[in-house]
Amino acid sequence: MGRYARITGWGKYLPQRVVTNAELETRINTSDSWIRSRTGIGQRHVAADTETASSMAAVAGEKALEVAGLPASSLDLVIAATVTAERIFPACASMVQHALGAERAAAFDVNAACSGFIHALTTAWQFLKAGSYDTALVVGSEVYSRILNWDDRSTCVLFGDGAGAVVLQAYDSPPGLLSFVLANDGSAADILYVPGPCGVRSPSQDGRYYLAMNGPEVYKRAVNAMTSASRKAIEAAGLDVRHIELFIPHQANRRIIETTARRLGLPLERVFIDVEQYGNTSAASIPIALCEAAEGGRLQRGDHLVLVGIGGGLAWGALVLEWGTGPAPGV
């Protein structure tokens, strides 16, 4: 008998400070109508000076454990998806493990930018499926506000800070995660990236490490990649698009989401969108959206969900799961 991995807990954290489009109008040459028409974003949350990727992830993780009804001591594994950890090392997941008191859990990070949560969740799934572990915490947490050039209207209006987390438990029967697709195109590394302190120094860099993006090229590749990955994952799960009750994509841009849904043949009522409230929170966007959907009553036992994202790399991935909570692992 095979093993299944089921999401049994979820939680999110958004910083208190909200930066609206109206506030950005006073700082850079932009407007609320310009931002909304191109991205669908109305506001974003920005971390306080005392907040970090790990501190936000710990709060989201604690909430996810509470929903699952589990103590942190039950965790075998903590995986954090982030590109904005406060330290090069140790891993953000290591600090989350300590903050939660998950003393016996292994902990490491996954760096796949905005698709990081998909990569982290599928990684945890493989550990549970293999029988190596029974319970994992997967978090996505980002503080992009610290890698943005706030004078660059083409990038600073897009991103926000936040964290989302899920508890994944092993079961001997469905429902659970059904299929996944992961992909990467390293030839596109220069269309979306952030330079770092260990690379070749640039005199113009002056110690600053800002996100750089070729927006039109990212848009085109994002739609194609997310559409293709979603189709492959749905097919691998033995399903058809008509069986998908809810599509939860990476919340980068409303136009990307709507175009992808249209190409898949999914009506918008089966697509979850919260980009207006939060902007692009990178690796945190999918778990935040999943949490919002669960809290809003959008998920019912037996529903089939597609989660899909794309980010710097270019790295992308999709997975299909059958939603359902249940009793203790092994049942």
Active site (catalytic) residues: 114, 250, 280
Q: Is the dihedral of CA 245, 277, 82, 7 positive or negative?
A: negative
Structure tokens at 247: 């599509």
Determine the Cα–Cα distance for residues 208 and 219; give it in Å rounded to an integer: 26
Residues in Cβ contact with 318 at an 8 Å cutoff, skipping those fewer than 6 apart? 118, 180, 181, 226, 229, 230, 232, 233, 306, 307, 308, 309
Compute the residue count for the chain: 331
Alpha carbon distance 23, 279 (integer Å): 15
Residue in 296, 244, 23, 250 with CA at minimum distance from that of residue 140: 250
- Give the distance from CA 312 to its chain's centroid: 13
Q: Are 184 and 313 in contact (CB under 8 A)?
A: yes
- Whose CA is closest to 130, among 94, 72, 76? 76
Identify which of 118, 178, 129 has the alpha carbon closest to the alpha carbon of residue 304: 178
Amino acid at 128: L
